[in-house]
């Protein structure tokens, strides 16, 4: 979610041999990562999706308890390990299902963790599936690193935090961790964001408020929403049923629905882009300065947008638009709104490339300054010559 600070990760498309989405987020413990992962998985099921939930927290697996499958036994079949069927549309696999008991301590070094997680990712037979949500332990260690390396087409990470500064600092490191590994950050969720008294309605920011949203804005990642402190979450978790299912009309359940909405919309947009490509229609964006391809997309005066037929390798139409003021994150979102599939430029930094990837836009760098139409035709013909990225930072 695809598409992943309980590293609750949403990943989409290829994982364990099926169409998936997965979600995960690396951060300090105690912020409610597993609770968020379980509720997002359940909310996806309620939205009509087939979901796999994979818990790779070796030292503190929580998903079996949260979904009331502690005593379930994993079966090996000719097609792989069979995940536990929780409900229609939801299957679960957890390291905790292989342990002798809830109190058993796991003392494994990195290579052992890697081996076990690799087996869970490769050998579980999920069947038909739309999403794989990966619940990863906090931090930037072996578990999230292994998942990122093994799921090559993960949609990205969902980062869970609480409002206070000590959690925010760890989240910042987790976002930098994702960027260094070229994993898109789908967004930040602020959990335990204030408490509303059920008697008098007074709202109290027990751990502060707004820290996650401020941090997301500073680091130019989407802020997906805030989840309040709600005793019903504890009761539903202890009872083995996510609150989105136990009480779908609760304010907390509505908060999860708001968080999920942009993720589902993102996938709908990606599906539309894929359909266009299958039909042979695409839109190519060229940053232009003085009528020629701009060496850096951020310094352009205008964008030339070409509707192209990739089967016939021809340009169908062209329009020239003046972009909004260049501020971090603005142009990727704006070009996504223009339904661009590809941007070709001379240079673009790694951070900007990540933002374009999050908006479903392929980036081609190293193109020489030339007539935009010529660039597009060469790209369609497969003869476009590219050199070094002139803005590789």
- CB-side exposure of 247: number of CA atoms within 13 Å? 15
| 2 lies in some domain | no
| 170 lies in some domain | yes
pLDDT of residue 108: 55
Tokens 């709202």 belong to residue: 203
C-alpha to C-alpha distance for 131 and 181, rounded to whole angstroms: 21
Full domain range(s) for residue 182:
7-274
Q: Which of 274, 303, 331 is the last residue of a domain?
A: 274
Please check the confidence at residue 273 and state whether its pLDDT lies above 90: no
Q: Are 178 and 184 in contact (CB under 8 A)?
A: yes
Domain match, 39 and 155 both: yes
| 387 lies in some domain | no
| 360 lies in some domain | yes
Domain count, the chain: 2
Phi-psi region of 326 (alpha: psi -120 to 50; beta: other; left: phi over 0): beta
Domain match, 242 and 359 both: no
pLDDT of residue 18: 28
| 1 lies in some domain | no
pLDDT of residue 268: 67
CATH number, domain containing residue 142: 3.40.50.300
Residues of the chain with pLDDT > 90: what percent? 22
Domain match, 232 and 313 both: no
Give the number of other Cβ atoms within 10 Å of residue 15's Cβ: 30
- Provide the greatest CA pair distance for the chain: 69
Average pLDDT, integer, range 10-28:
35
Domain match, 165 and 90 both: yes
| 343 lies in some domain | yes
| 199 lies in some domain | yes
| 311 lies in some domain | yes
- CB-side exposure of 45: number of CA atoms within 13 Å? 23
Give the number of other Cβ atoms within 10 Å of residue 249's Cβ: 6
C-alpha to C-alpha distance for 230 and 102, rounded to whole angstroms: 25
Q: Which of 222, 245, 274 is the last residue of a domain?
A: 274
pTM of the model: 0.64
CA-closest candidate to residue 186, choices 151, 136, 218, 225 = 225
Write the pLDDT tens digit of every residue in 376-387: 999 999 999 988
Domain match, 287 and 142 both: no
Q: Which of 242, 274, 306 is the last residue of a domain?
A: 274
CA dist 290 → 218, 304, 389 (Å) = 32, 12, 21
Domain match, 34 and 182 both: yes
Average pLDDT, integer, range 276-293:
85
């Amino acid at each position: 979610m695809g598409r992943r600070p309980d590293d609750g990760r949403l990943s989409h498309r290829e994982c364990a041999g099926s169409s998936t989405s997965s979600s995960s987020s690396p951060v300090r413990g105690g912020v409610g990562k597993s609770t968020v992962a379980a509720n997002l998985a359940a909310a996806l099921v309620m939205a009509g999706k087939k979901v796999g939930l994979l818990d790779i927290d070796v030292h503190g697996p929580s998903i079996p308890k949260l979904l009331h499958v502690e005593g379930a036994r994993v079966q090996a079949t000719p097609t792989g390990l069979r995940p536990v069927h929780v409900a229609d549309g939801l299957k679960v696999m957890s390291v905790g299902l292989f342990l002798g008991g809830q109190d058993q301590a796991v003392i494994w070094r990195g290579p052992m963790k890697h081996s076990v997680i690799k087996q869970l990712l490769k050998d579980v037979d999920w069947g038909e599936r739309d999403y794989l949500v990966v619940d990863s332990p906090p931090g930037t260690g072996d578990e999230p690193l292994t998942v990122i390396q093994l799921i090559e087409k993960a949609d990205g990470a969902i980062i869970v935090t609480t409002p206070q500064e000590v959690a925010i600092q760890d989240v910042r490191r987790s976002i930098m961790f994702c960027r260094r590994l070229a994993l898109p950050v789908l967004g930040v969720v602020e959990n335990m964001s204030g408490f509303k008294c059920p008697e008098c309605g007074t709202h109290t920011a027990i751990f502060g408020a707004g820290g996650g949203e401020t941090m997301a804005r500073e680091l130019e990642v989407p802020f997906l929403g805030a989840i309040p402190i709600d005793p019903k979450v504890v009761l539903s978790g202890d009872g083995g049923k996510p609150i989105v299912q136990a009480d779908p009309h609760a304010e907390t359940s509505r908060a999860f629905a708001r968080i999920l909405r942009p993720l589902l919309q993102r996938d709908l947009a990606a599906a539309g882009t894929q359909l266009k490509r299958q039909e042979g229609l695409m839109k190519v964006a060229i940053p232009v300065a003085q009528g020629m391809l701009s060496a850096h997309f951020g310094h352009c005066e205008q964008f030339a947008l070409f509707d192209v037929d990739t089967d016939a390798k021809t340009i169908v139409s062209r329009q020239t638009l003046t972009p909004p003021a260049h501020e971090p994150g603005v142009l990727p979102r704006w070009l996504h709104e223009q339904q661009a599939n590809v941007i070709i430029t001379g240079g673009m930094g790694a951070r900007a490339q990540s933002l374009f990837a999050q908006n479903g836009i392929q980036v081609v760098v190293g193109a020489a300054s030339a007539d935009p139409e010529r660039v597009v035709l060469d790209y369609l013909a497969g003869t476009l010559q590219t050199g070094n990225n002139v803005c590789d930072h």
